[in-house]
Structure 1
Amino acid sequence: MTIRTRCGAWLATLLLLASSASLQANTPDDQLIVGMNMNNLLTLDPAAMTGNEVVGMVVNLYDGLVELDPQQLTHVRPALAESWDISPDNSTLTFRLRDGVRFHSGNALTSADALWSMRRVLHLNLAQASVWKSYGFSKANVDQAIVAPDARTLVIRLPKPNDPHLVLYSLAALGSMVVLDSKTVQAHAVNNDWGNRWLTTHAAGSGPFRLDGWQAKDVLTMSRAPDYWRGAAKMQRVVFRHLQESQTLRLMMEKGDLDIASNMAIPDVRALRDDPDLSIDSVQRGTIYYLAMSMKDAHFANPKVREALRYLVDYQGINKTLMAGYGVLHQRPIQSGMPATLPDPGYRLDIARARALLAEAGYPDGFDTTLRVLADQPFLNVAIAIQSTLMQAGIRARIITGTGNQIYGAMRDRQFGLLVGRGGSGVEPHPHSSLRSLVYNPDNADSARLTNFQGWRTSFYDAQLNRMIDQALTERDAAKQQQAYFAIQQRYDQLIPALMPISQMVDSVVVNNRVQAYQPHPSATTFLRDVWKTPESLAGGTP
């Protein structure tokens, strides 16, 4: 079937689906219909993608070497790699790839494809290169660091000391190092772009589903890939529909026009809790909601001012009244639930103490500043609450709202005062995942452009803290490593950082009870290959 014919069939199916849904108010038994806000879906290229939404699509179009068990995140499961070894000195990972896997094109998948895919991430040096650069990989060394001695063997030599388990977690959780069909992608390369332009709207994987088509801010469909090496996916087709308004998602879930809805406003999620046909799946992610300040601003370069702000946030009130369903109280840079995470320090709103600290800093009457925030919930309500308590100490913060590019763009350019945001990776089940994103800043120069590091964005820099993070990562004694992470959190707290954690993210997904075996993944790598639906004509049916 030609691409044009496939697209025509795809559009015809969508029209049929839309018309049947309006009459029957239920989705087809063999199709999974997902509603979500896809405003942040800008590319399907695994090397360039940003945001959790696209990760959930990429991992169903492609396969990685390994994957994380959604119910036990520290359990690394085989995928394309049927086995792997870590060298005694922790410097080398060797993967043995399974035989007989083919891409959707029909091309055989070999270690040469895995090698090319990994090198591609560093050579392109787009969004997904940041984590791997923090591990010491670069465009200059990646061709020597990653090699394929034969068709089924891939060897990764770490350019600098690291914890190989963290590298395994990154391979499993980030989606950036999935294996691409190198022959197909190279056939579509233009001006040595490694196929980046083509992969923006196309896919070349070996996953359980193949891409049918994507219309930006409209719809993306994928269909069951024939001869998938794990066995055929249960669903014939998965359709992702762009629905920006939460109330629209709610109405369509109530009518049975959607099987799954994500990105819903919490009031709409709550309104569906008593619907007997629906369930709410909540999963806690490692991402942190925070108040950030720029130390390039003279006010916030003063540690007394930063300490004053520590007592000008009503953490308990915000989490109780504004964050229910969005997040849970958390005041540490390392995500909760890990043995290495210290208990919260227990900071609370204390206006009198904050006023005294501002007076000591030379601002007895406060000062004027700006507070940037996304024009979405819960961000905006959190910013309004913080604006109110800042005002009680004399800090007059003018709220500036905007899109992600406008708000976080100013942060990446280090041109902001205060900012309410969300970040911190926390994707990998390892303390370094959070510290790398929120704290670590190996080079504070403007020219370094370490834009994926929140520490660099806020100009927060401490050489000793960086060394402690580096040393903890390579500590091979588990008990000593845990103590090292305790010490890092204590020093970070003592330094009065430019980023104050407020809450840890909770993601709520509404699911029709016909949907079976759907398991939201804490790292956003939600696998759909085993999902099936109870037939509409049966009660408690089987696939």
Structure 2
Amino acid sequence: MWKKSLVFSGSIVGFALVLIGLVAFQARAAEKETLIIGMQDPLASLDPAKAYDVTSLGVTSQLYDTLVRFDEDSAHAKPSLAESWEIGVDGKTWTFHLRKDMTFVSGNPINADAVVYSLTRAIELNKDPAWLLTQFGLNKDSIQKVDDLTITFTLDRSYAPTLFLSCLGFNVASILDAVAVKAHEQQGDWGSAWLEEHSAGSGAFILEKREEGRVALQANPAYRGDKPATKNIVVTHVAEPIEQAIQIEKGGIDVAWDLQPDQIRRLETLPDIQVFETPTFTTIHFVMNVAFEPLTKPEVRNAIRYAIDYDGLVDLVLQGAAVKTQSIFPKGMSGYIPDMPYEYNPEKAKQLLNSAGYPDGVDIELLCLDYAPWVDIAAKIKSDLKNIGIRVKIKQTDISGMVDAYVSRNFQLHLWQWQPDYVDPDSNAKALAHSDKLGDDATIKSVLWFSHYVNAEIARLVEDASLESDESKRDMMYQEIARKIQIDGPFAVLCVSKKPYAIRFEKQDLLGIPSVLRSNFPPIR
């Protein structure tokens, strides 16, 4: 589970592609043949059974389709390759019916054999995202072909329908051309090496070429849905936000996807660049490791929460590119609560610290990533905590250092963010509220497990909520979980970030408006 929280997955990247009108002039059409997107995160894999980083998920979502899809802000599944489905009376048996006469790019039919192969392949490869399927007890024997257009799934329990469907909409459940992939298997790799340089899907785009730091896609002329407005997409790795700003200003890229507020302020003054902003489900927080003194004491954890100037952090440090919240479920997600019990109150924080037995304050270390905005957020936290006598030492590190600290459970304060993998509150609950045991026999090694926090009552609530089929009751269960974690948990939830991005004016009608569920990769029309 820890890998899930350390890759900024965003799992929620099935993007709608919408047809726009024909361009009036040939010159205008030529301009729009290619859309070049600058992304901060490098592409790791083009195999949907492996893809688990922002860029890889975004690209593979253009190449492959899934049985179901999620549009815009909807948390409800819609038909995609499957035209319908039903749940058996036991709540564990699901039957999916495929659309007729569908084909992959190769011309091979999209049928039950392809579905069984694709999902079995993801489970058997057992790479990072495989848990989204195996958490339901799925294995090679529980996914069966009934006929050419019908497949059954047998789950180990009766799960909440929205939970299972949400995971079937994630990239790991992409449907591949089984005939093409099998023809390129090498030494039992399920065709994985070949898929890093080729695509075998039915999506709106086809992989043209992959090079170091660059991937090029071509529109699929046989795509069954609305045709994309651009013939080609190029995704290029531009690691630094300032370099993205420079490149979009000079015309080297058309979309700058990873920008800081100061770059946004400059770009929005330029007539040939449009700047947009969308809400996200990305929660920024820091975790307090309760195995370390004085964080073992709830009074100290509460003192820290009351010492944070949340408004100043959002307005001054993040310059409005976030919304203050103290809920592990962001607004728009089931389970969200607007409660904000921790307002900036240094005097109350000092009293709590004194009652915990630390009238002279304490020394503590805060771990953060070594680039903006993390170093700026850390500096603000350090300044706030200094006002109540907590002396913070900031330790900056790269992503591998953050991973190492989590794996070893050797940190005190850990500044981080969380993006849900799928459009269901279970994604946040399993990571941010489930912890039943401290040892290796823990049911889930969540963020809480890494911070040595255990609350078996909340863990049971998380498990029960994943099985509740009544959406109203389920929402109330998640609200209860949110309130319990808010008061007793090891978090200081700071805010939910907004996503600013820029696009060259002449290319703006090639992008849709990313919704709160689709904010990890540009939504291509």
Q: Normalising to structure 2: TM-score of the pair? A: 0.87
Matching residue of 2:275 = 280
The aligned residue for residue 466 of structure 1 is 459
Q: Distance in 2 between matches of 1:73 and 1:51?
A: 23
SS of equivalent to 2:207: strand
1:93-126 deviation line (CA, Å, top 9, x unaligned): 3211123333233432222222222222222222
2:204 aligned with 1:208, yes or no? yes
Residues in 2 aligned to 1:160 and 1:444: alpha-carbon distance in whole angstroms: 25
In the alignment, structure 1 residue 149 sits paired with structure 2 residue 146: yes
- Is it true that 1:183 corresponds to 2:171 in the alignment? no
Instruction: Tell me if structure 2 keeps the 8 A contact 1:76–1:169.
Output: yes
Tell me, in whole angstroms, the C-alpha distance in 2 between the residues paired with 1:280 and 1:349: 32
* Counterparts of residues 94-113 of structure 1 (less than 5 Å): 94-113=95-114
Q: Could you give the per-residue CA deviations for residues 274-328 of structure 1, whole angstroms, max 9, x where no partner exists?
A: 3333322322221200011222324323222222221222111101112235321
Q: Give the letter aligned to residue 451 of structure 2.
A: T
What does 1:103-182 correspond to in 2, within 5 Å? 103-133=104-134, 135-137=135-137, 141-172=138-169, 174-182=170-178
8 Å contact from structure 1 (residues 287, 426) kept in 2 = no
Asked if the contact 1:211–1:223 (Cα under 8 Å) also holds between the matched residues in 2, the reply is: yes
Kindly indicate whether residue 523 of structure 2 is the aligned counterpart of residue 522 of structure 1. Answer: no
Mapped pair 1:194 → 2:190: yes
Return the alpha-carbon distance in structure 2 between the equivalents of residues 364 and 27 of structure 1: 69
1:365 to 360, 367, 370: 360
Name the structure 1 match of 2:20.
none
1:527 to 1:410, Cα distance in 2 relative to 1, 3 A: closer
Matched-pair contact (CA < 8 Å) for 1:37–1:263: yes
For residues 26-71 of structure 1, what are the alpha-carbon distances to aligned partners after superposition, in whole Å with 9 as ceiling and x for unaligned?
98321111122233x222222222222221111101111111111x
Confirm or deny: 8 A CA contact 2:433 2:481 kept in the other structure. Answer: no
2:98 paired with 1:91: no
Question: Does the residue aligned with 1:508 lie in a helix, a strand or coil?
Answer: strand
Q: 1:46 aligns with which of 45, 48, 61?
A: 48
471, 492, 497: which is aligned to 1:505?
497
Counterpart Cα distance in 2 of 1:336 and 1:232: 33
Q: How does 1:314-333 map to 2 (within 5 A)?
A: 314-333=309-328
Q: Structure 1 CA distance, aligned partners of 2:299 and 2:522?
A: 50
Map of 2:426 onto structure 1: 432
Instruction: State the secondary structure of the residue aligned to 2:307.
Output: coil
Aligned to 2:396: 401
Please show how residues 227-238 of structure 1 align to structure 2 within 5 Å.
227-230=222-225, 232-238=227-233
Structure 1 window deviating more from structure 2 (364-373 vs 412-421): it is 364-373
Distance between the aligned counterparts of 1:319 and 1:455, measured in 2?
25
How far apart are the structure 1 equivalents of 2:461 and 2:187? Answer: 43
Following TM superposition, by how much is the alpha carbon of 1:426 offset from its aligned partner in structure 2, in angstroms? 6.5
Contact 1:117 1:177 in 2 (8 A): yes
Specify whether residues 511 and 227 from structure 1 end up closer, same or farther in structure 2 by C-alpha distance, changes over 3 A only. same
- Find the aligned partners of 1:43 and 1:215 in 2 and give their Cα distance: 12
Partners of 1:296 and 1:414 within 8 A in 2: no
Count of paired positions: 497
Matched residues in 1 for 2:114 and 2:35: separation? 30
Give the C-alpha shift of residue 485 in structure 1.
2.4
SS of 1:74's partner is: coil
1:35 pairs, out of 17, 34, 38, with 38
- Aligned partner of 2:257 in structure 1 is 262
Cα distance in 2 for partners of 1:304, 1:237 equals: 56
> Letter of the aligned partner of 1:505 in structure 2?
S
Aligned to 1:486: 479
Cα drift, residue 75 of structure 1: 4.0
- The 2-side partners of 1:516 and 1:277 are apart by 14
Indicate the larger mover: 193-202 or 103-112.
193-202
Report the CA distance between 1:89 and its aligned residue: 4.6
Report the 3-state secondary structure (helix = DSSP H, G, I; strand = E; otherwise coil) of the residue aligned with 1:341.
coil
* Correspondence for 1:249: 244
Q: After alignment, is 227-236 or 307-316 more displaced?
A: 227-236
| Identity across matched positions, percent | 28
Question: Structure 1-normalised TM-score?
Answer: 0.84
- For residue 53 of structure 1, what is the amino acid of its counterpart? T
Q: How has the CA–CA distance of structure 1 residues 27 and 229 changed in structure 2, closer, same or farther, with 3 Å as cutoff?
A: closer
Displacement of 1:263: 0.7
CA distance in 2, matches of 1:325, 1:529: 23
- 2:15 corresponding residue in structure 1: none
Q: CA 1:459 to 1:186, structure 2 compared with 1: closer, same or farther past 3 Å?
A: farther
1:61 aligns with 2:41: no
Taking structure 1 as reference, are residues 449 and 53 closer, same or farther at Cα in structure 2, changes over 3 Å only? farther
The alpha carbon displacement at 1:332 in A equals 0.5
1:59, 1:527 within 8 Å by CA — same for their partners in 2? no
Match of 1:348 in 2: 343
Give the distance between the partners of 1:35 and 1:294, measured in 2 at CA: 36
Deviation at 1:486, TM superposition (A): 2.5
* 8 Å Cα contact 1:368/1:395 also seen in 2: yes
Post-superposition shift, 1:385? Answer: 0.8
| One-letter amino acid matched to 2:504 | N
Q: 1:187 to 1:395 in 2, by over 3 A?
A: farther
String of CA shifts for 1:402-422, please: whole Å, max 9, x gaps: 222221331233121111111
2-side partners of 1:306 and 1:357: how far apart?
Answer: 9
The answer on whether the counterparts of 1:146 and 1:155 sit within 8 Å (CA) in structure 2 is yes
Distance apart, 1:177 and its partner CA: 0.9
Do 2:142 and 2:155's aligned partners in 1 also have CA atoms closer than 8 Å? yes
Tell me, in whole angstroms, the C-alpha distance in 2 between the residues paired with 1:370 and 1:73: 40
Q: What's the counterpart of residue 435 of structure 2?
A: 441
What is the one-letter code of the residue matched to 2:302? E
Relative contact order: is structure 1 or structure 2 higher (C-alpha 8 Å, sep ≥ 6)?
A: 2
Distance 1:359 1:325, change over 3 A: closer
Seen in structure 2, the aligned counterparts of structure 1 residues 227 and 483 have a Cα distance that, compared at 3 Å, is closer
CA RMSD of aligned residues (A): 2.7
**2: CA distance, partners of 1:485 / 1:449:** 19
Of 396, 412, 421, 1:417 maps to 412
SS of corresponding position for 1:305: helix
Structure 2 unaligned blocks of 5 or more:
1-26
